[in-house]
Structure 1
Amino acid sequence: MAAMDADSAPASAPAGLKARLRALFSGSGEASLTRRLAGTIFLIRVVSAAMAYFSQILLARWMGSGDYGIYVYVWTWVLLLGSMLDFGIAASAQKIIPEYRASGDHARLRGFLSGSRWMTGLASGAIALLLAGLVKLLSPWIDADTIVPLYIGCLTLPAFVVANTQDGIARSHDWMRLGLMPQFIVRQTLIIGFTAGAFALGLQLGAVVAMGASAAAVWIAMIGQMIVLNRRLGSHIEAGPKAHDYRGWLKVSLPILLVESFYLLLSYTDVLVLQQFVSSEEVGVYFAVVKTLALVSFIHYAMSATTAHRFTEYHTSGDKERLAAYVMHSIKWTFWPSLAATLVLLALGKPLLWLFGPQFTSGYDIMFIAAIGLVVRAAIGPMERLLNMLGHQNACALAYASAFVLNLILCLLLIPHFGGHGAAAATSIALTFETVLLFWIVRQRLGLHVLAFGKRN
């Protein structure tokens, strides 16, 4: 009998784990749906991160740390500006679309689905031309090796912005794969393919070629996503008249843009300030550290992308109890996976950095400093999305603005003396300050306890 029990235990353990996983992700309620959608987003981001990590390793080894540092600097500007030049439409889509659907305003819904992309595409194209002119004007004071990559970065911006807008539209319909895969899987695949092809052809793989490959990948992925999204929207929404409420969209979007802008500035200030005080090689090392820790941020991103439009739905319906339960669910599923991922990444940090090149392991101790801010931020989950969706975006923007100013001041004070260590410390302190402010704002305005642990009222 004991032998039989011993033999059956290993078989029952996997069966029990399988049953628990099935119960966790296969339910029909909002929590189960959220976990499935967040799991889909997280899986896409993890696969994308692995591909991006692989591509960054290849670029760092093929280009050398100097050209790689230039590429990182220019690509950071593309990420920063490209995420801001949609005027907040990508984020506000998760508020506007559910409200139009709930009110039955199909004319404005149809108008938004097409007009928002035209608006952001044309506006970002015009701004990209102005930025290219600014690069030309400032070229005597810009490093000569950086000028052409900056021009290519300007060319990339319109496609990047339209792709972000389409991502917001797709996520508002729970089409997570359509929203994210073109940007995070297709784009990365094309970047790897184009740069590997250039390397195989014997081309000098510097910052110019790498930025050209990235620009082509962004444009191709965006156009493919547009074709599929238009086809799916055509079968999902009946044809009819369109109403374009550009002023109304901007009224909702611009305060959210303010929040997103300060968040992005907070995210990229360290790299941009670091470039002004240290060598391109040191910037490359710091960026490798940030990329290695990116998995933690992806968990936060997955829950934010999944929950935002449901915060709007539950708030609009007046179901406060349901909203409060959903908020706490999103916090728990942000913090505990983030903590686990951080511990794993810190344990494996040195060999992961070594993949970029032996010199990149010098940034291993920076990982511990940078990880603190990410874990602290995860402790309150996607509360910036909650505030944005419930009409408290101004208070949220103030919190982010305060954290950005603190981060900038600390970067300017610490980076000249401590380099990458100072950048990581400045960002972690700013993220901790931001988390405390958001916790207090949600507590005061919504009466919700938004920590993954502790007392709940």
Structure 2
Amino acid sequence: MFVGKRILCVRFSAAATADRLLPSFLAARARPGLTNLDALLFASGDRHGSAGRASLIAFLIRVLSAVIALVSQVLIARWIGSFDYGIFVMVWTVMVIAGNLSCLGFHTSIIRFIPEYRARGRLGELRGIMATSKIFVLATSTLIAALGIAGVWLFSDAVESYYVLPFYLGIACLPIIALSDTLEGTARAHSWAALGLGPIYLLRPLLILALMGLALQLGYPATGQTAVIAAIIATLLTALFQIVTIVPRTRAGLRQVRPKYHHRQWLMVSLPIFVIEGFYFMLTNADVLLVGYFMPPGDVAVYFATTKILALVHFVYFAVKAGVAQRYAHYAQDGNSAKLADFARETVAWTFWPSLVMAGAVLLLGKPLLSMFGPGFEAGYPLLFVLVVGVIARSSVGPAESLLTMTGNQNICALVYGLTLSISVVLNLILIPLHGLWGASIAMAVALSCEAALLAFTVWKRLGIVMIVPNARLPRRQETV
């Protein structure tokens, strides 16, 4: 059986296919890269066989997701106009951030605990944390949603009138967003990359687009409020799909196991992760939120569309991060520091070089892509040249914060993000009133560059790993049989 599998891998490998189909000079040029791809896809070792395939699947999902997101945002912007589009993206961005943070870190900490418990045969704890994570997340997100609705009601006079009703609607969706994020983390912890990322990054945006188009066909007004309602219904349908497809698989073999609970331990690990991700989400969205505070929805729409184009570069980092987090945790639990360091350096190469290629493509095609959003959106094109500097700097250290979190260094990682967020907020508060969207772009580029430097220094001090692109390495060529 094993021999047959290896024969199939060789017969249908990318390198062998190129030798048969391409001219000899092109095949010779392509062979080194395709051989590495074959090693990534078909290696029997745990490092490349599991994490590599998960990263590749995550990468492909993020590529497709970026295309879907771009198309859907373009269509929605054209359907409802820049003013209402600005309202929609402002409200929905806040809701996605708040929904994720209302998990209080449990949706990420399970990516660390589930592989550990499965590897050590601690099935009681495994069942306990999977049950606890869902119940806890639903409880905290519901409480936060109630506080949010009360806050909008109390301070409605300080909020622009066109934001009030969309915010009420969006806040009611927080528990659904939180549960969906927790189920994503559960699937990723089991290395089900497609099932983990597919619903949120593929199904949900497609449903938002389809439901928005249906609403307009049925005669509903083309407003930001209608778009928020479409997003809420899409999120509910996505969560139902995840419940049906993920939950039964996680229960396999555990139905007769008595759950064991370590609430204090789980909470002590999850809360620093909550702080990290809170700082991270605020860092990556502080510019959009503060642009929304200082400037009208039309400017929010232009800036958000520009960051959506930039996401075509940033998704490489997210794809690698999604595929390697549980592998970091596995190596850390095994105590194999040399293997962890070797793998960490490889993930820097996986992140940086594709990001660099994507950055060039975005700068080349950014203006026509922005013009698709409608009149006036191409004004954001010059901002890309500033923003891309920060994204490339960030990719030069790979998923360093995941390495810190999965190796028990979540507290110092939270401190790094807190410092970086402070830099971002201060710069945005100073520069946006003075220079508008240019100020936001400069602030974000500087903040991301500072984040990369601080993360690289922290990884080196705590783990002794030089996790920067000059020290990165590509996977070794695997021997075939």
- TM-score normalised over the length of structure 2: 0.90
- Equivalent in 460, 463, 470 of residue 443 of structure 1: 460
- The change in CA–CA distance for 1:412 and 1:316 in structure 2 (over 3 A counts) is same
- Equivalent in 176, 191, 194 of residue 159 of structure 1: 176
- Equivalent in 128, 135, 138 of residue 111 of structure 1: 128
Distance in 1 between the 2:236 and 2:264 partners? Answer: 28
Residue in 2 aligned with 1:76?
93
Whether contact under 8 Å (2:61, 2:201) holds in the other structure is yes
Whether contact under 8 Å (2:54, 2:324) holds in the other structure is no
Distance in 2 between the 1:141 and 1:45 partners? Answer: 38
1:44-83 to structure 2, matched below 5 A, reads 44-83=61-100
Q: Which amino acid aligns with 1:140?
A: D
Runs of 4+ residues over 6 Å off in structure 1: none
Distance in 2 between the 1:246 and 1:56 partners? Answer: 41
Distance in 2 between the 1:297 and 1:134 partners? Answer: 33
Q: Which amino acid aligns with 1:361?
A: E
1:52-451 to structure 2, matched below 5 A, reads 52-235=69-252, 237=254, 239-451=256-468
Query: SS of the counterpart of 1:82?
Result: helix
Residue in 1 aligned with 2:6?
none
Alignment of 1:452 with 2:473, yes or no, is: no
Distance in 1 between the 2:22 and 2:469 partners? Answer: 33
Distance in 1 between the 2:179 and 2:157 partners? Answer: 32
Query: C-alpha offsets along residues 206-249 of structure 1, whole Å, 9 cap, x if unaligned?
Result: 01110000001011101110111122123354531112322221
Query: C-alpha offsets along residues 393-447 of structure 1, whole Å, 9 cap, x if unaligned?
Result: 1111111111100100000110012111111110110111111111111111211
Distance in 2 between the 1:292 and 1:234 partners? Answer: 40
1:15 CA displacement: 5.7
Alignment of 1:38 with 2:55, yes or no, is: yes
Query: SS of the counterpart of 1:343?
Result: helix
Q: Which amino acid aligns with 1:342?
A: A
- Once the two structures are overlaid, the 10-residue window that deviates more, 364-373 or 105-114, is 105-114
Whether contact under 8 Å (1:303, 1:334) holds in the other structure is yes
- Equivalent in 31, 35, 38 of residue 22 of structure 1: 38
Whether contact under 8 Å (2:348, 2:472) holds in the other structure is no
Distance in 1 between the 2:153 and 2:290 partners? Answer: 22
Q: Which amino acid aligns with 1:249?
A: W
- The change in CA–CA distance for 1:127 and 1:320 in structure 2 (over 3 A counts) is same
- Once the two structures are overlaid, the 10-residue window that deviates more, 383-392 or 21-30, is 21-30
Query: SS of the counterpart of 2:461?
Result: helix
Whether contact under 8 Å (2:141, 2:175) holds in the other structure is yes
Distance in 1 between the 2:128 and 2:22 partners? Answer: 58
- TM-score normalised over the length of structure 1: 0.95
1:77 CA displacement: 0.6
Q: Which amino acid aligns with 2:111?
A: Q
Distance in 2 between the 1:140 and 1:103 partners? Answer: 55
Q: Which amino acid aligns with 2:274?
A: L
Whether contact under 8 Å (1:31, 1:329) holds in the other structure is no
Query: C-alpha offsets along residues 55-82 of structure 1, whole Å, 9 cap, x if unaligned?
Result: 1111111111111111111011112111
Distance in 1 between the 2:112 and 2:449 partners? Answer: 27
1:34 CA displacement: 2.2
Whether contact under 8 Å (2:404, 2:459) holds in the other structure is yes
Query: SS of the counterpart of 1:331?
Result: helix
Distance in 2 between the 1:409 and 1:215 partners? Answer: 33
List gaps (5 residues or longer) in structure 2. Answer: 1-19, 474-481
Distance in 1 between the 2:88 and 2:287 partners? Answer: 16
Whether contact under 8 Å (1:31, 1:326) holds in the other structure is no
Q: Percent identity?
A: 38
Query: C-alpha offsets along residues 183-226 of structure 1, whole Å, 9 cap, x if unaligned?
Result: 11111111011000112223211011100000010111011101
List gaps (5 residues or longer) in structure 1. Answer: 1-7
Query: C-alpha offsets along residues 248-301 of structure 1, whole Å, 9 cap, x if unaligned?
Result: 211110011111111111011101111121121111000000000102221111
Distance in 2 between the 1:10 and 1:294 partners? Answer: 33
Query: C-alpha offsets along residues 53-110 of structure 1, whole Å, 9 cap, x if unaligned?
Result: 1111111111111111111110111121112111111111111112222332211111
Whether contact under 8 Å (1:334, 1:381) holds in the other structure is yes
Distance in 1 between the 2:282 and 2:165 partners? Answer: 24
Distance in 2 between the 1:185 and 1:445 partners? Answer: 37
Residue in 2 aligned with 1:4?
none
- The change in CA–CA distance for 1:108 and 1:364 in structure 2 (over 3 A counts) is same
- Once the two structures are overlaid, the 10-residue window that deviates more, 133-142 or 266-275, is 133-142
Whether contact under 8 Å (2:345, 2:472) holds in the other structure is no
- The change in CA–CA distance for 1:67 and 1:455 in structure 2 (over 3 A counts) is closer
Distance in 2 between the 1:34 and 1:240 partners? Answer: 29
Q: Which amino acid aligns with 2:403?
A: L
Whether contact under 8 Å (2:345, 2:471) holds in the other structure is no
